[in-house]
Homo-oligomer: A and B are copies of this chain.
Amino acid sequence: MNRRFLAAVLAGGLLWSASVPSRADEGMWLYSDPPVKILKQRYGFEPGAAWMEHLQKSSVRFNSGGSGSFVSSRGLVMTNHHVGAEQIAKLSSPGKDLLEAGYLANSQAQELKCPDLELNVLMTLEDVTARVQGSVKSEMDAAAAEKARRAEMSTIEKESTEKTGLRSDVVTLYQGGRYHLYCYKKYTDVRLVFAPEQDIAFFGGDTDNFEFPRYDLDVTFFRAYENGQPARIEHFLKWSPTGPREGELVFVSGHPGNTQRLNTMADLAFQRDRRLPLVLNLLRRLEVLYATYGERTQENKRQSKDDLFGVQNSRKALLGRLGGLQDPAFMGAKQKLEDELRQAVAGSPEWSAAFAQVEQAIDVYGQILDDLYLYERHYAFNSRLFELAQHLARYRVEVGQPNTDRLREYRDSNLESLQQDLFSPAPIYPEFERVKLADSLAMLLEVRGSDDPLVQRILAGKSPRERAAELVNGTRLQDVAERKRLAESGGTGSKDPMVELALLVDPTARKVRKTYDEKVAEPLRQAYAAIAQARFAKFGTELAPDATFTLRLSFGVVKGYLEDGQAVGAFTDFAGLYRRSAEHHNEYPFRLPKRWVERKSRLDLSTPFNFVSTADIIGGNSGSPTVNREGQVVGLIFDGNIQSLVLDYAYSEVQARATSVDSRAITEALRKVYDAGALADELGS
């Protein structure tokens, strides 16, 4: 990773477009404001309203944090294996490991119902900026402004839900420069149709993750159901018979999670010096813990491998981001842009003040950082049972309050999703829970020290190991019925030890949450809204907002790149897969599933397998369809290369690339490796 990453950052400031108006193929564009002019000028392509609507309504959001698309009229949804993996793990049991073995439903009856998956499809979107901003009066301080805005957003969401029956979210764009109301059709009955073996879906494992060339069949198919039957879908994507060509214009429609391209230097420095190192140290701790737990027995490995994968993936991604921030060339380029902007707005006190406001908020953020992660984001209680207990401890209290006064996740618009999570029948593994909780309690003790009164009450005179065992053995929260009972009756007064712990921690957790919401998030929101406006004023409006896990359209061309002076081609093929496996003696994580070994001779080894394009994507885009001008599926986004990891903070098209599975590889594998001809036939039909 080092050498390859280096080549990108060495090139320095010139490559980084940072936050000036879009050059090249930058931009995760709003469907309400697509880059029509750029596409026409650069590619001679004009997407019409029908083209946009079709792609919009074919796009699916995985509420667990990923993207997908409808690919048949009968509700077939395509996404990545790694997006579906959480559900696939939950559908597994001892002796029946679907992650390892893969799964194919040969009939509708064999399609497996996911315990707690919600899919969203964006049906309508509406600008409600005036209404949200109008709720804030000039005499309000930050806390009051935040409350007023929150109240207005809740009201809008509630009215819309009542009117349309759709999931309605007010989305903050341009850091508060604009607010849009997004209404989603929800699917909560979702069933597993096909998943390949993890060994081919995540071939190369952590080693090849974020690298290219790449050889992964990172695909899974689910089916959305309504009223117990496959959903009838009007808008779905057709399958391209030819796949993409080198140099071809392609589009990516999906839900990029989060970018910080407008962030000021003070914010970036805080990310670099405090937040990313903190999170990375937590991730390393978890990585070692999960790896050692998994190595003890095959069953342990089955229980923990999805968590381990998640941790390794985050570690590698954040290390890439941190590497960018630790590079003076990158930071110098960002500094230069900020200096220019500051100079341009020097005469506007409100805009100038925004930079200081960011610094103040970041200062508070630094003071509460540890508590926020330990108590509110419960890194001190790394346990699914605690997570449930915290919800139960809050549930009745929050739901008993006016909708607008509740914590965001308890508002009416979020309640159904919360309940699905809270009452999920997904299995919980007591031994894994004990190990995770013991280690996180030990970490709390290390960070806060044994003299801390709250720590003493949390540990109750016991060692972290003993206390974790007592809590996990004593709780009844693994029982869904018990959770329902507690949610109804309210957690208060419960004798469940895990709920008692959550109640003990709750005042501290709520306090830091409140400080974060009022003294960090809200001032930052306001300051970035001002900065976004200043940027509009200086650079015009040809600028996409930062990603917010809402539907966006990116575009780019299929194109290789130069690395250390060597050309990296845009495509790999099946032949390369077999070569790469042999280089590593077919050992994990380069081990091929048995089926792939046996059926090698059936395959056309020249079939394109993975390819790269210049489309501007980020985490959350996983599972997005890659489509051509005709709106046909030519690929399936599943990763970006190492050089793309700093796209969080600034776009570059010199080396940063989005990686897709080629549509031709998917059908070739379905037919010849998995005997899934019926599924292949259904695609796009």
On whether the beta carbons of A465 and B434 are closer than 8 Å, the reply is: no
**A434 shortest CB reach to chain B, Å:** 6
CB contacts (< 8 Å) of A10 on chain B: these are 466
Q: Are B584 and A298 in contact (CB under 8 A)?
A: yes
Interface-located stretch among A18-26, A154-162, A282-290, A408-416: A282-290
Contact B281 A285 (CB under 8 A): yes
The distance from the CB of A383 to the nearest CB of chain B, in whole angstroms, is 14
- A273/B449 in contact, CB under 8 A: yes
Chain B minimum-CB-distance residue to A469:
B6
Of A38-46, A322-330, A621-629, the one touching chain B: A322-330
The answer to whether A450 and B585 have CB atoms under 8 Å apart is no
Contact with B along A272-303 (1 / 0, CB 8 A): 11000100010011011001100111100000
**Most chain B CB neighbours (cut-off 10 Å) among A272, A323, A326:** A326
A428 at the B interface (CB under 8 A): no
Residue of B at shortest CB range from A205?
B295
Residue A492 interfacial (CB < 8 Å): no
Instruction: Return A311 CB to nearest CB of chain B, in Å.
Output: 10
In contact, B207 and A585 (Cβ under 8 angstroms): no
Please, how many angstroms separate the alpha-carbon atoms of A566 and B463 in the complex?
23
Measured CA separation A9–B101 after assembly (Å): 41
Near B by CB (< 8 A), chain A positions 319-340 give: 322-323, 326-329
State which of B5, B207, B273, B585 has its C-beta within 8 Å of the C-beta of A446.
B273
A462 within 8 A of B: yes
A315 within 8 A of B: yes
Contacts of A296 in B (CB 8 A): 207
- A461: CB under 8 A from chain B? yes
* A463-498, CB < 8 A from B: 463-466, 468-469
Q: Are B281 and A9 in contact (CB under 8 A)?
A: no
CA distance A329 to B298 in the complex (A): 34
Instruction: State whether A442 and B295 are in contact (beta carbons under 8 Å apart), knowing that A287-B288, A315-B288 are contacts in the complex.
Output: no
The answer to whether A464 and B207 touch across the interface, beta carbons within 8 angstroms, is no
Interface of A is mostly: helix
Interface residue A435 (Cβ < 8 Å from any Cβ of B): yes
Instruction: Say yes or no: A465 contacts B284, CB within 8 Å.
Output: no
Tell me if A438 counts as interface (CB < 8 A to partner B).
yes
Residues of B within 8 A of A462 (CB): 328
A9 touches B295 (CB 8 A): no
Query: Are A589 and B295 in contact, with the CB atoms below 8 A?
Result: yes
- Does residue A2 face the partner (Cβ distance < 8 Å to B)? yes
- With A285-B284, A288-B287 in contact, is A465–B298 under 8 Å at CB? no
Q: Are A284 and B288 closer than 8 Å at their CB atoms?
A: yes
Flag whether A630 is at the interface (Cβ < 8 A).
no
Q: Which residues of B contact A284 (CB under 8 A)?
A: 281, 284-285, 287-288
A633 within 8 A of B: no
Known: A288-B288, A442-B322. A2 touches B327 (CB 8 A): no
Contact A2 B206 (CB under 8 A): no
Over the window 434-450 of chain A, the binary record of Cβ atoms lying under 8 Å from chain B Cβ atoms (1 yes, 0 no) is: 11001000100110011
Q: B6 to A277, Cβ gap below 8 A?
A: no
Q: Tell me whether B206 and A295 are in contact (CB under 8 A).
A: yes
- Cβ–Cβ contact B288 & A464, under 8 A: no
- A465 to B646: give the CA distance in the assembly, Å: 15
Residues B277 and A463 in contact, CB atoms below 8 Å apart: no
Question: How far does the Cβ of A653 sit from chain B's closest Cβ, in whole Å?
Answer: 21
**Residues of chain B contacted by A281 (CB below 8 angstroms):** 281, 284-285
What's the nearest-Cβ distance from chain B to residue A324, in Å?
Answer: 9
Q: In angstroms, how far is the closest chain B Cβ from the Cβ of A336?
A: 16
Instruction: Give the one of A273, A316, A589 with max B CB within 10 A.
Output: A273
Instruction: Give the contacts of A552-596 with B (CB-CB under 8 A).
Output: 583-585, 589
The answer on a CB contact under 8 Å between A463 and B326 is yes
CB-CB contacts below 8 Å: A240-285 with B: 269, 272-273, 277, 281, 284-285
Check A465–B5 contact: CB distance below 8 A. Answer: yes
- Rounded to whole angstroms, the CA-CA distance of A450 and B277 in the bound complex is 13
Checking B2, B207, B329, B435 against A438 with a beta-carbon cut-off of 8 angstroms, the contacting residue is: B2
A447 to chain B, nearest CB (A): 8
In angstroms, Cα B281 to Cα A288, docked, is 11
Distance (Å) between the CB of A320 and the closest chain B CB? 11
Chain B hits for A464, CB < 8 A:
323, 326
Q: Report which of B6, B207, B323, B465 forms a contact with A323, defined as CB distance below 8 A.
A: B465
Given known contacts A322-B442, A446-B273, A466 and B6 CB-to-CB distance under 8 angstroms = yes
Name the distance in Å between A114's Cβ and chain B's nearest Cβ: 29
Q: Distance in Å from the Cβ of A585 to the closest Cβ of chain B?
A: 7
Bound form: Cα–Cα A389–B583 in Å: 36
Across the interface, do B295 and A434 meet the contact criterion of CB distance under 8 Å? no
Instruction: Contact check, B295 vs A2: say whether CB atoms are below 8 A apart.
Output: no
CA distance A316 to B435 in the complex (A): 14
Q: Which B-chain residue is minimally distant from A9 (CB atoms)?
A: B463
In the assembled complex, 8 residue pairs joining A and B whose CB atoms fall closer than 8 Å, in A order, are: A5-B465, A9-B463, A272-B450, A287-B288, A288-B288, A297-B584, A298-B585, A323-B465
Residues of A within 8 A of B (CB): 2-3, 5-6, 9-10, 205-207, 269, 272-273, 277, 281, 284-285, 287-288, 291-292, 295-298, 315-316, 322-323, 326-329, 434-435, 438, 442, 445-446, 449-450, 461-466, 468-469, 583-585, 589
Pairs of residues from A and B, 6 with the lowest C-beta to C-beta distance, nearest first:
A327-B463, A277-B446, A207-B295, A284-B284, A284-B288, A2-B465
**14 further A-B pairs in the complex, CB-CB below 8 A; given A205-B295, A327-B465:** A2-B438, A2-B469, A5-B465, A6-B466, A6-B469, A9-B463, A9-B465, A269-B450, A284-B285, A287-B288, A288-B315, A323-B442, A323-B463, A327-B463
